[in-house]
Amino acid sequence: MADKHLSTQFDAELSGISNRVLEMGGLVEAQVAQAIYALSNFSSETANQVLQQETRVNTMEVEIDSDLSGIIARRQPTARDLRLLIAVSKTIANLERVGDEAARIARTVQRLVNTGVSSRLRVPVTDLAFEADLAIALLRKALDAFARLDTGKALEVLKQDDQIDQEFDGLLRKLITYMMEDPRTISSSIDLVFVAKAIERVGDHAKNLAEAIIYVVKGTDVRHHSVEAVEDAVR
């Protein structure tokens, strides 16, 4: 009975920590969406709001990390429970980086608003918002997959990340064309190149989350594997 009781408490701790990861995930997802809203509307105010939330995300990372080393020390988990805690540690590092990318975009918006933006840059900004929609949807799917430990959904994330990479390549070519046609847009175009890169990285982080989920459920480390090899591992 005592064992059963302990194990129920432990389960509660594990699901508690998973919920906080999802909360952190929801927060950084909202940050990215807000940063892109700030960009699309050249709103310095919204950019400020994104930057104000950075501390909260950082604090969450540090707290969750501290909780999970506490759980490992007290509960001495093995097998799948240990894998889950290790995956949480990697996942929150990725989520914190997503928050960093959102902050990076927000700071770029502030600079663009201060220096004044050529109306020519409206078109690439629309493309950036499209790339960002893809990345945010991918991040949300990865968080859903984490909530349910759903390897099928995790696999979808791995497959769809390519689309964001292609979007990035297309955007980069377009921005280079703008710069060549009108060298006065070079400085702000470079800013947008970095925004495009930040969004592409959000997709990479979603992919890392998906790999961590497969590791928890299947016990297989599928990083650096081809999608085909991952499909085999998940089946």
Touching a second copy, residues 87-106 (CB under 8 A): 89-90, 93
Alpha carbons 102 and 24: distance in angstroms, whole number: 14
- Is residue 6 a contact residue for a second copy (CB under 8 A)? no
Options 31-39, 115-123, 128-136, 217-225: segment touching a second copy (CB under 8 A): 217-225
In sequence order, what are the residues at sequence separation of 6 or more whose Cβ sits closer than 8 angstroms to the Cβ of residue 163? 134
Minimum Å gap between C-beta 24 and a second copy is: 14
- Is residue 187 a contact residue for a second copy (CB under 8 A)? yes
* Residue 101 or 153 having the CB closest to a second copy: 101
Q: Which amino acid is at 58?
A: N
Minimum Å gap between C-beta 41 and a second copy is: 26
Distances (CA, A) of 163 to 104, 169, 171, 203: 22, 10, 12, 9
In sequence order, what are the residues at sequence separation of 6 or more whose Cβ sits closer than 8 angstroms to the Cβ of residue 182? 118, 120
Options 8-16, 61-69, 111-119, 123-131: segment touching a second copy (CB under 8 A): 61-69
Secondary structure (DSSP) of 55-122: HHHHHHHHHHHHHHHHHHHHH---HHHHHHHHHHHHHHHHHHHHHHHHHHHHHHHHHHHHH---GGGH
Options 10-18, 29-37, 66-74, 152-160: segment touching a second copy (CB under 8 A): 66-74
Which one of residues 30, 82, 137, 147 is an interface residue with a second copy (CB under 8 A)?
82
- Is residue 118 a contact residue for a second copy (CB under 8 A)? no
Alpha carbons 49 and 209: distance in angstroms, whole number: 26
- Is residue 66 a contact residue for a second copy (CB under 8 A)? yes
Residue 172, exposed/middle/buried by CB under 10 A (0-12, 13-18, 19+)? middle
Q: Is 42 helix (H, G, I), strand (E, B) or coil?
A: coil
- Is residue 123 a contact residue for a second copy (CB under 8 A)? no
Options 39-47, 56-64, 110-118, 159-167: segment touching a second copy (CB under 8 A): 56-64
Q: Using CB under 8 A, list all residues that contact a second copy.
A: 55, 58-59, 61-62, 65-66, 69, 72-73, 76-79, 82-83, 86, 89-90, 93, 172, 176, 179-180, 183, 186-187, 190, 193-194, 197, 221, 223-224
